[in-house]
Structure 1
Amino acid sequence: MTDNYLDVHIDDDVAVLTLNRPAKLNAMDVATRVQLAQTIRRFGTGDLVRGIVLTGTGRAFSAGEDLQTVPASYDEIREAVATFHDITRAILETTVPVIAAVNGIAVGGASEITLCCDSRIGTPEAVYFQPENHRGIVISNASSLLMGRLVRNHAMRIILGSERIGADEALRIGLLDEIVAPQALVDRAVEVIRLWSSDPRITALHLGLLRPRPEDVEAAFAREDEAARRSWESGAFTEGVEGFWASKNAPTTPATNSSDRRRR
């Protein structure tokens, strides 16, 4: 079945949720994020499946926030950030394992969604990219807590430097737990969930012990919300997004070689 840009199917008692908007690199609008959180909650009770895999269609896991239009008010910013936060909240509330199967580039908020998953399995084409600091946008999804929890001191350069982290480095520093061939990605994620949930009752208890505490996650949300408000009020957010689209829409000038110049 297909809901908006989210495909859902059951594979060996595991729910596979696939972001399916390849023409836009699986960028997520507000409606898709709401749908994703609702779907995670529906399957996260353990009544229907033993676990959840989140992946993308095509060459991207997801380009994150759909920046097609610049928000016109802080209320729109707050709504957008709240829907990202709620995906993190939905994942951490599940009683089943949730694995991100990172099939390609994961940008911004989409990259951050994977941080709260119980494992991240990637292909050699997997790339992490956090461009927010260079676009006037503030990180969300409790990534201010979760990034450092996973990669410790590497978090500063990933966020502040907006560096692209390829699959091999992501595996080395802890953003990825495993790299597999693209054709084996979802099957491997399903296999891991099956291995982890031999007794779902005990697995649920261990998930609660190993995941970050809800109060710490909510505190991170609050700090990120305040930072988003200050970014908006300073004008940095609007300038950053407008600058992004200006660079994307700028006309390209064909390269001119030396023989072309001599003929003129």
Structure 2
Amino acid sequence: MSAVPHLLSPADLIVTVDDGVAVIALSRPARLNALTRGMRRDLAALLRHYGEGGRARGVVVTGRERAFSAGMDLREAAGPELDLLAEMELFNDITRAALTTDVPVVAALNGLAVGGAGEMALSFDARIATARASISWPETGAGLTVSNAASLFLPRLAGASRALHLIMNSARLSASEARDLGLVDDIVEPEDLVPAAVRLIHRWTRPGSSTAAHLRLMRPSPRAVEAAMAREAAAVRQVQESGIARAGIAAVLAGRGR
């Protein structure tokens, strides 16, 4: 078995193996587990490592304390050399990694999942949440655009009309609202969140199961995913070149008192 990849942000990702399932906890609770560039690179690498070669029966991604993740670390991104295409590509690589695993990938939503983090979770094979979890897409009001092929996954899960309204309204959904729309598969007690995700993976990977074959069949095709990402890249280029994105990020950070 090959060694675990070298991590750029080792303190911000905690990896454990629970009954053969790799559990990756986003661990930056003081910043609501906002994803730095290093964390995004590391998460993609870990998904590839544990998702291939029989190293684990599945992968669970969760967050520490009160958030799953606040999404992209806007403070890091908002430097003088703002490059939203590069930021988006780091998110997209997480989606590519999740979709090419041989094993199920499950989001265990312990709290708020904002923007790119919520979109990332949509690309996983299942989402289990606690009642205090929420998913929000604030991009429209902040002059930003969606990533992670969310323009494919959100209509696929919730329907095209609902997806449009969710994005245009910068919606924030409770766990029960997300479940009603098909974006969350189950709601469990906080103490049972990761165990429930592990049990789901065990059900899907019983000995002799054709799990890998059906994951390939039921996930969207790589061609469709890349087409969605290309459309999203064009959109983010537009909002960056127009100045809308920079102004929106500045407004968000000012509203947070930074």
Q: What interval of TM-score do these two structures reach, taking the shorter chain for normalisation?
A: over 0.9
Q: Secondary structure at the match of 2:75?
A: coil
Q: Aligned equivalents of 1:20 and 1:248: distance in 2?
A: 21
Matching of residues 38-77 of structure 1 within 5 Å: 38-69=45-76, 70-73=78-81, 76-77=83-84
Superposed displacement of residue 163, structure 1? 1.5
Q: Aligned equivalents of 2:223 and 2:208: distance in 1?
A: 25
The equivalent position to 2:180 in structure 1, one of 148, 169, 172, is: 172
1:30 pairs with 2:37: yes
Q: Aligned equivalents of 1:68 and 1:42: distance in 2?
A: 29
Q: Secondary structure at the match of 2:73?
A: coil
Q: Secondary structure at the match of 2:146?
A: coil
Q: Which 10-residue stretch deviates more, 196-205 or 162-171?
A: 196-205
1:204 aligns to what? 212
Q: Which 10-residue stretch deviates more, 240-249 or 227-236?
A: 240-249
User: Percent of aligned pairs with the same residue?
Assistant: 45
AA in 1 matched with 2:155: G
Q: Aligned equivalents of 1:192 and 1:213: distance in 2?
A: 24
AA in 2 matched with 1:39: L
Superposed displacement of residue 4, structure 1? 3.4
Matching of residues 1-264 of structure 1 within 5 Å: 3-69=10-76, 70-73=78-81, 76-152=83-159, 153-199=161-207, 202-249=210-257
Gap regions ≥5 residues in structure 1? 251-264
Gap regions ≥5 residues in structure 2? none
Q: Say if 1:107 and 1:129, in contact at 8 Å, map to a contact too.
A: yes
Q: Say if 1:71 and 1:77, in contact at 8 Å, map to a contact too.
A: no
1:255 aligns to what? none
1:203-246, Cα deviation, whole Å (9 max, x unpaired): 00000000000000000111111111111111100010011122
AA in 1 matched with 2:172: R
CA-atom RMSD in angstroms: 1.5
1:258 aligns to what? none
Q: Aligned equivalents of 1:200 and 1:28: distance in 2?
A: 37
Q: Secondary structure at the match of 2:23?
A: strand
Structure of greater Rg = 1
Superposed displacement of residue 192, structure 1? 0.5
Q: Secondary structure at the match of 1:101?
A: strand
Q: Aligned equivalents of 2:143 and 2:89: distance in 1?
A: 18
Q: Say if 1:4 and 1:32, in contact at 8 Å, map to a contact too.
A: no
Q: Say if 1:96 and 1:200, in contact at 8 Å, map to a contact too.
A: no
Q: Aligned equivalents of 1:208 and 1:84: distance in 2?
A: 21
Which 4+ runs in 1 deviate beyond 6 A? none
AA in 2 matched with 1:143: A
Equivalent residue pairs, number: 249
1:39-64, Cα deviation, whole Å (9 max, x unpaired): 00000104211000000000100000
The verdict on how the C-alpha distance between 1:200 and 1:136 changes in structure 2, with shifts beyond 3 A counting, is: farther
1:123-154, Cα deviation, whole Å (9 max, x unpaired): 00110110000111110000010011000122
Q: Aligned equivalents of 2:209 and 2:226: distance in 1?
A: 26
Q: Aligned equivalents of 2:224 and 2:176: distance in 1?
A: 30
Q: Say if 1:50 and 1:200, in contact at 8 Å, map to a contact too.
A: no
